[in-house]
Chains A and B, each alone.
Chain A
Amino acid sequence: MTDYFEVHERDSAARVGELRLVDSVTTPALVDDVDTETPGNCRHVLDDAGSRWSTERDAPDGDESLLTVLPHRGLPAGTPDEVAEAFAVDYPDVTFPSAAVISPDTATDHSSDAYVLAGAPGYVGHASAFVDAVTTVRERIPADTALYLPGVATPRNVATLVYAGVDLVDPDRAVVRGTEGRYLTTDEAYFLEDLDELPCACPACQQPREEFDRQDCVEHNVNALAAELRRVRRRIRDGRLRDYIEGQARQDNWLTATFRRLDQQYSYLEERTPLIRRADLSAASDDSLRRVEIQRFAERVTDRYVPRFDDRPLVLVPCSARKPYSDSQSHKQYHDAIKWRAHVVSMTSPIGVVPQELELTYPAQHYDSVVTGNWTATEIEFVSRVLERYLEGTDYPEIIAHVPGEGYRDICERVADSLGQEFTYTVTDHPTTADSLGNLAAELEGWDRYPKREREHNTIRAVADYQFGEGAGDELFDDLSTQGRYPQLRADDADGEQLAALAQQYGVLSLTTVGARRWVESDVPTKTVEIEPFVPHGSVLAPGITDASDDIRVGDDVVIQGDAAFGVGRAQMSGPEMQSSTRGIAVQMRHVDEQ
């Protein structure tokens, strides 16, 4: 039971939370011992009840204004499993804010508000050991508890620590490095004597260089660490920590190795990555291709999406900078040539392929990439793989590649070759030249236009497949009638009862309770949150939940079921997080029926 910690915002494994002490502490936070004097901006809220290696300890009394570290046996990195188990400590269930010291081998739910990862100094600096330790511990302790990594944070590494799932750090390492004459910045650990000017505007650095000594260096280091944490908190709130990490982690190779290794822990990150976000995603390097958002989109387009237009030609077109693509000048020109006679799929790095029905769906209209015209080998490899897998599930009578030379054409040729399929190339010089567009139109000569209704229906169904799972488009929306004007579509049943609306900003469906009931009745696995017998209005809090589907992700539409109510809302936590949390908003309700 977590009483003194709550998660407010999530950005993948990183969170902004609140340590609910007498004076609350916003996490990720820089916390220090209550009795330690530290220059700079720390919250002195830690109270260590002491190590049981040296002596037996009395149970501490606790204090509502402090986070008491319960008597512990810290296990340094390298402690053999057997020894770790033999000396595992039983923690009392206390009524004051408390932290339990744990190791990857011994981590489990101790009913504490926070957990201290013992041995952190041995993990930090080694990507695989660090990722192993943090992900193992994070999976074993409840989601709504804070993870404290003692003795390791620096201005340079702290963003990556938080990105991995850490909530609390201390100034110890920054202080120690300062006493050693190391001047820490977000990019380096300079030897103080090598600096002829101080690259910082913090109060400690506002003095002549000659007078700046190691004591000042300590103060600067702590300031720099605190400032970096402020930036990290802002990034989490904006849903943009990953963009920052891809750049910041370059400052130290072990950090780059760390976020790449985390990318390999796909299920750890996927579980924590929202389905949709407000913020744009910046794709500036090959590392962006490994992002959960990108991988998930590619996976759903190739696995769940059903090609409902493959009775007509496919036109592959390049993406546009402007989103959604259909709003761009170039795509309007393609459209004028195609005139609803073919299915349009955009090719893009970093997303892969985007069928026209999913052009609104996150992150298809929420990414921004660096345009140089040159594709990297990794991008070519990635887009080729996605396109090939996409085509394997389709049966187009003809494939027209209306793409420019560099990159796009290479990919098409590669895929055509691999699939043994013939592509028709319609671009000479550039896709928007009159010749190219003329070729494209000529190639579609003889095909009829499909009606607007078909386009709208297929859009709703494609989004449903993408969002709810295979078969959802047909099962939930078999007797569909659409209202409104794209992209503001409403999905009704044949009798005019509303089932869902297309949320234009994210390209996902918002169900009504009628739509939600169809989901429950269908064969498509329902993302369900079971609640106690009450009628939720506004939101469902974690303690009211009795069970939740494992595959619920932040941003998912979920069905709420309880003895007193049936409803639908948007998940604010993942399913596993709902299961293990005892605090926090789990679902933002949209509609509820009392029953």
Chain B
Amino acid sequence: MSKPSPEVYEEGKGMDAHNSVMRDIRSRNDSTYDPREPTRVWLDEDNTPDGVYQSLTIILNTGGCRWARAGGCTMCGYVAESVEGGTVAHEDLMAQIQHCLDHEAENSDEQSGLIKIYTSGSFLDEREVPAETRQAIAETFADRERIVVESLPDFVDEETVGDFVDVGLETDVAVGLETATDRVRHDCVNKYFDFADFEAASEAAQAAGAGVKAYLLMKPPFLSEAEAVEDMKRSVRRCAAVDGCHTVSMNPCNVQRYTMVEELYHDGGYRPPWLWSVAEVLESTADEDVIVVSDPVGHGSDRGPHNCGECDDKVQRAIKDFDLRQDPAVFEQVSCECEATWDAVIERERSYSLPLAR
């Protein structure tokens, strides 16, 4: 991760404050987890450059994000789902993988063509997942078609990505870019790398024969609904222009436990984005030369992206439909009276008057 060098003192001040607050908030969480079980695992369907695949998504418990231990991102509660103390041993990580394979076998007749491995940090960081483990996991899934592994830009290189490419997997590195706007990533999200680092990582991935999938975050704290929508439209377009970045996963922020976002939410200072905002971004960037998908987690609940309550499921279905077909026409078929409220919020909400509606 790059240091917050160029833009100054003020930024350093903001980061210190965010980190100190987040450390404090996270310290209230005293849960611990079994190092032999993954954080989460599930089966789904995913759109890739080669078409739609059944996917096995694994959230590997690797001992938690180093950045989160320093304080970390304002919306991210993943550190809460980590083991006590730090590094997870090779054997334990492999036990987690076995657990996931068992899950797949129990719940599906076929093998998933696509494997997605996330950690609460960087799968490619050898302090988190040793090279030995990484290679063993690559072997385990060598018979699948595609694999996605999550990493911060710093750890993407020939060697790390190469382990997967070399066993014949179509490999993508998932990067939690959050936004293409450095200022928003730094000040609102408190994540410290620059868009230029993402571009460099994409280049490195491409050189190693892999691709990049950018993860974007819609509506971090402190942005109005309109600013959040604009930030996402701009971010999708900038990602689309990066060679090697073929997919963007744009995900609305939800309120996770033990985060600053939760503090704001609790005091009436944060509302997750409207599903209409998600639809708006997907619709308006549909012509970009990149796959754009979104998975609104917790849709329809207060803590997740939501509309009026009447139309949430309908709009969520349209979004999922768009994910698979990339056809903006899916949004023409959904409408609700609450669009007028969303219009008013987009027009009127300011960073000093949020949230204007619940």
Contacts and interface: CB of A to CB of B under 8 A. Distances in A.
Given A53-B222, A122-B267, A176-B357, A83 B18 contact: yes
B264 interface: yes
A176 B20 contact: no
Interface of B: 13-14, 16-18, 20-21, 181, 183-184, 187-188, 221-224, 227, 230-231, 260, 263-270, 308, 337-338, 340-341, 343-345, 347-357
B268 A122 contact: yes
Interface in A119-157: 119-123, 125-126, 129, 150-152
Contact of A176 (B17, B230, B356): B356
Contacts of B16: 86
Contact of A76 (B17, B184, B222, B308): B222
B280 to A, nearest CB: 17
Contact of A73 (B21, B222, B308): B222
A147 B269 CA distance: 20
A281 interface: no
A78 B266 contact: yes
A150 B265 CA distance: 18
A74 B188 CA distance: 12
18 contacts: A51-B227, A53-B227, A72-B351, A73-B351, A74-B352, A74-B354, A77-B264, A80-B260, A83-B17, A87-B14, A119-B352, A150-B350, A151-B349, A172-B348, A173-B356, A175-B348, A176-B344, A179-B341
A121 B264 CA distance: 12
A178 to B, nearest CB: 8
A392 interface: no
A74 B345 contact: no
A214 interface: yes
A54 B269 contact: no
B150 to A, nearest CB: 26
Contact of A51 (B224, B338, B345): B224
Interface of A: 33, 36, 48, 51, 53-56, 72-80, 82-83, 85-87, 101, 116-123, 125-126, 129, 150-152, 170, 172-173, 175-176, 179-181, 214-215
Contacts of A173: 356
A398 to B, nearest CB: 61
A267 B180 CA distance: 50
Contacts of B356: 121, 151, 172-173, 176
B337 A116 contact: no
A103 to B, nearest CB: 9
Contacts of A83: 14, 17-18, 21, 260
A176 B345 contact: yes
Given A76-B264, A86-B14, A180-B338, A55 B350 contact: no
B349 A85 contact: no
B154 to A, nearest CB: 25
Lowest 10 CB-CB distances: which A-B pairs, in order?
Answer: A78-B267, A76-B269, A122-B268, A74-B352, A151-B353, A74-B351, A86-B17, A77-B269, A118-B352, A150-B353
A77 B267 contact: yes
A85 B20 CA distance: 13
A87 B187 contact: yes
Contact of B21 (A80, A122, A175): A80
Contacts of A54: 181, 183-184, 223, 227, 230-231, 351
Contact of A125 (B18, B265, B268, B349): B268
Contacts of A82: 17, 20-21
A181 B263 CA distance: 30
Given A83-B17, A214-B340, A121 B267 contact: no
Given A172-B356, A179-B340, A77 B348 contact: no
Contacts of B268: 76-78, 121-123, 125-126
Given A51-B227, A125-B268, A152-B353, 14 more contacts: A36-B347, A53-B183, A53-B223, A54-B183, A54-B223, A72-B351, A73-B351, A77-B267, A80-B260, A83-B260, A150-B352, A172-B356, A180-B308, A180-B341
B184 A176 contact: no
Contacts of B348: 33, 36, 151, 170, 172, 175-176
Contacts of B343: 179
Contact of B352 (A86, A87, A101, A176): A101
Contacts of A73: 222, 351
A211 to B, nearest CB: 17
Contacts of A180: 308, 338, 341, 357
B138 to A, nearest CB: 40
Contacts of B344: 172, 175-176, 179
B148 to A, nearest CB: 29
A119 B354 CA distance: 6
B353 A120 contact: yes
Nearest to B260: A80
A74 B341 contact: no
Contacts of B221: 76
A139 to B, nearest CB: 20
Nearest to A116: B352
Contacts of A123: 268
B337 A181 contact: yes
B269 A51 contact: no
B183 A56 contact: yes
B188 A53 contact: yes
A427 B231 CA distance: 81
A56 B351 CA distance: 14
Given A151-B356, A175-B344, A78 B269 contact: yes
B353 A55 contact: no
Contacts of A125: 268
Nearest to B339: A179
Nearest to A89: B10
A122 B337 CA distance: 25
A55 B268 CA distance: 24
A172 B355 CA distance: 11
A118 B265 CA distance: 15
B255 to A, nearest CB: 12
A73 B186 CA distance: 14
Nearest to A103: B352
A46 to B, nearest CB: 10
B310 to A, nearest CB: 11
A75 B223 CA distance: 10
Nearest to A129: B267
A179 B336 CA distance: 11
Contact of A78 (B231, B265, B338, B341): B265
**Residue from the set A51, A54, A82, A87 with the largest chain B CB neighbour count within 10 Å:** A54
Nearest to B17: A86
A55 B183 CA distance: 7
A33 B345 CA distance: 13
Contacts of A121: 268-269, 353-356
A51 B187 contact: no
A121 B267 CA distance: 10
Nearest to B356: A151
A176 B341 contact: yes
Contacts of A101: 352
Nearest to A86: B17
A74 B341 CA distance: 22
Nearest to B224: A51
